Amino acid sequence: MNIIPFFVILPLGCAFLISLFGKRIKNFSDILATLVSIFLFSLSLYSIFLVKGFKILVYKVGGWVPPIGICMVLDGLTSFMLVTVNLVSLLVVIYSLSYIERYTEKFRFFTLFMLMLAGMNGIIVTGDLFNLFVFLEIASIASYALVAFGTEAEELEASFKYAVMGSVASSFILLGIALLYSYTSTLNMADIANTLAQKASGKLLSFISVLFLMGFGLKAALVPFHAWLPDAHPSAPAPISAMLSGVFIKVLGIYALSRILFNIFGPIMPVLNILIVLGILSMVVGGLLAIGQTDIKRLFAYSSISQIGYIFLSLGIATPLAFLAGLFHLFNHSIFKSLLFLNSGAIEYSTGTRDLRKMGGLISKMSLTANTNIIGSMSISGMPPLNGFWSKLLIVLACVQSGHFILAIISVLVSILTLAYYLKVLKGVLFGAENIETPVKRITFQMQFSMAILALICIIGGLVLIPNLSNLFLKPAADVLLLGKGYAKAIFGAVQ
């Protein structure tokens, strides 16, 4: 039996059932959503063993053979992304079981959440370019609605801004797909790569690359296109902020872009240089803007932009070590950024404020949140035993190895900048004078559980670099990116 279609079918079916029965049957949405996300996570872990040793699985939708029909692909990079997404979504679902009680209409939340998950899993497994666009829109529309979930003035405003910019980005992506179709007359990714290899690369291909860079760059919040992120991510409910900052921008932006740029077009020097420049720009600008913030969720959002820059920088360097470092940082960032956003949710849940100037001295009142917050902050700013240190170290090493000394220095400096604004968070939230008069509300067990697990992964995350684990989890993913245009041959090899 082929497990690939279940990554899309399960969340989609779950969303459908919850929207039908969620209102009538009590606790139906909680139980179904938890069960489905546990099942999806175990399925994604199982998929790692399926692709062990360069294997590629292809599922033909409806039995049509790939160049004609749609296919779904499971390779190293796919299973790596699936594990990341489904791990974070499982913990976020557990967290939201009690957190989302603050809002009405809990079942609608889980419906939209599962739709978003179906879209993201679909983007990861699909091997067809237009199918990717459809899943991208499913995920995006669900996320527009989730940002506006609280229906307060600010949330609606942020959601409108996000939806307008997101739709423009989607139009650019569709335009790119239309041009690519007119050039190659096929939509299957592997087939496009084959056709492009036979044609001489012309100006049109650069134009299409730019369109995709613009569209997916806006979804990933690279710096010239970042304006929506600091509004949209803080306005969403905390679990959704964790999901959006943790995995959403990576799947829609980084994964989709790197699949297209590396596996379909093949790495071209000018495009790689653009990636490096945009990456550096995001790192520096995001970091500098983060320092001035006083709303903690807004600060975390700017820090996301900065860390996304690291990943793009390492993708742009495009050496084997750089790919490994970039993907490892992607995994780590999804862990600690979702931890930090869940923490901010817990702080808001207990104290009722997100303003750094209004809180202080929470370390004596909320010991678990305080500890996980310290772990998350230290991890993202690259303190030695935690996972963030290892990935940043690898990125700096990759810069040095490929001879980009200036980039290495900038990465180190931005890391120090990161430490500076996270120290500001720690000082403002945990230490200092206690100036909250109202009694602190205790956070529930489910919230504590998710935060504790994420913090644990932050501590032991460096172990992924041990050769045995790395060969299983990270290396196959980096190898797919390194394969470049060999991807097409591998897919057609797997079909026969």
Q: Which is nearer to other proteins, 2 or 185 (CB)?
A: 185
Is residue 103 at the binding interface for other proteins, with CB under 8 A as the rule?
Answer: no
- The minimum distance between CB 151 and other proteins, in angstroms, equals 6
Taking residues 57 to 96 in sequence order and writing x for each that binds other proteins by CB under 8 A, - otherwise, the string is ----------------------------------------
Q: Are 377 and 369 in contact (CB under 8 A)?
A: no
Which residue in the set 25, 178, 420, 469 belongs to the binding site for other proteins (CB under 8 A)? Answer: 178
Name which position in 141, 196, 299, 477 contacts other proteins (CB under 8 A).
Answer: 141
Residue of the chain from 30, 75, 191, 231 that contacts other proteins (CB under 8 A): 231
Widest CA span in the chain: 71
Out of 2, 27, 42, 171, the residue judged to bind other proteins by CB under 8 A: 171
| From candidates 14, 71, 187, 375, binder to other proteins by CB under 8 A | 187
The three-point CA angle 461-296-292 to 5° equals: 110
Concatenating the DSSP letter of every residue in 167-219 gives HHHHHHHHHHHHHHHHHHS--BHHHHHHHHHHSPP-HHHHHHHHHHHHHHHHH
Sole binder of other proteins in the list 59, 103, 181, 431 (CB under 8 A): 181
Least Cβ distance, residue 230 to other proteins (angstroms): 7
Binding segment toward other proteins, per CB under 8 A, in 139-147, 341-349, 372-380, 386-394: 139-147
For other proteins, the binding residue among 45, 50, 61, 168 (CB under 8 A) is 168
Distances in Å between the Cα of 127 and the Cα atoms of 54, 118, 122, 227, 451 are 17, 15, 10, 31, 34
Q: Out of 2, 42, 151, 201, which residue is the one contacting other proteins (CB under 8 A)?
A: 151
Q: How far is the CB of 232 from other proteins (least distance, A)?
A: 10
Report whether 205 contacts 197 (CB < 8 A): no
Minimum gap (Å) between residue 208 Cβ and other proteins: 13
What is the dihedral sign for C-alpha 365, 371, 372, 377? positive
**Binders of other proteins in range 428-457 (CB under 8 A):** none
| Rg of the chain, C-alpha, whole Å | 21
Give, in degrees to the nearest 5, the angle at Cα 257 between 254 and 258: 80
DSSP string, 243-311: HIIIIIHIIIIIIHHHIIIIIIS---HHHHHHHHHHHHHHHHHHHHHHHT--BHHHHHHHHHHHHHHHH
**Binding positions for other proteins, 456-475, rule CB under 8 A:** none
DSSP single-letter state for residue 236:
S
Question: Could you tell me how many residues of this chain bind other proteins (CB under 8 A)?
Answer: 37
Indicate the residue type of 219. K
Q: Measured in whole angstroms, how far is the alpha carbon of residue 432 from the centre of its chain?
A: 33
416 burial type by CB count under 10 A (0-12 exposed, 13-18 middle, 19+ buried): exposed
What is the DSSP-derived secondary structure letter of residue 57? E
When the beta carbons of 99 and 144 are compared against other proteins, the nearer one is 144
Q: How far is the CB of 157 from other proteins (least distance, A)?
A: 6
Select from 23-31, 170-178, 387-395, 460-468 the region that touches other proteins (CB under 8 A).
170-178
**Around Cβ 269, how many Cβ atoms within 10 Å?**
8
Contact flag: residue 182 with other proteins (CB under 8 A): yes
Does 154 participate in binding other proteins (rule CB under 8 A)?
A: yes
CB of 51 to other proteins, least distance (A): 30
> Taking CB under 8 A as the rule, which mask of x and - marks residues 288-307 in contact with other proteins?
-x------------------
Q: CB of 440: closest distance to other proteins in angstroms?
A: 27
Instruction: Decide if residue 175 touches other proteins (CB under 8 A).
Output: yes
Q: Which of 81, 125, 132, 163 binds other proteins (CB under 8 A)?
A: 163
Decide if residue 204 touches other proteins (CB under 8 A): no
> Please, what is the minimum distance in Å from the beta carbon of residue 267 to other proteins?
27
8 A C-beta contact, residue 281 and residue 310: no
SS3 23: coil
Q: Which of residues 343-402 bind other proteins (CB under 8 A)?
A: none
Tell me the residue type at 250: K
Backbone phi and psi for residue 74, each to the nearest 5 degrees, phi listed first: -120, 110
- How far is the C-alpha of 411 from the C-alpha of 393, rounded, in Å? 10
Q: How far is the CB of 231 from other proteins (least distance, A)?
A: 5
Binding site for other proteins (CB under 8 A): 130, 133-134, 137, 141, 144-145, 148, 151-154, 156-161, 163-164, 167-168, 170-171, 174-175, 178-179, 181-182, 185, 187, 227, 230-231, 235, 289
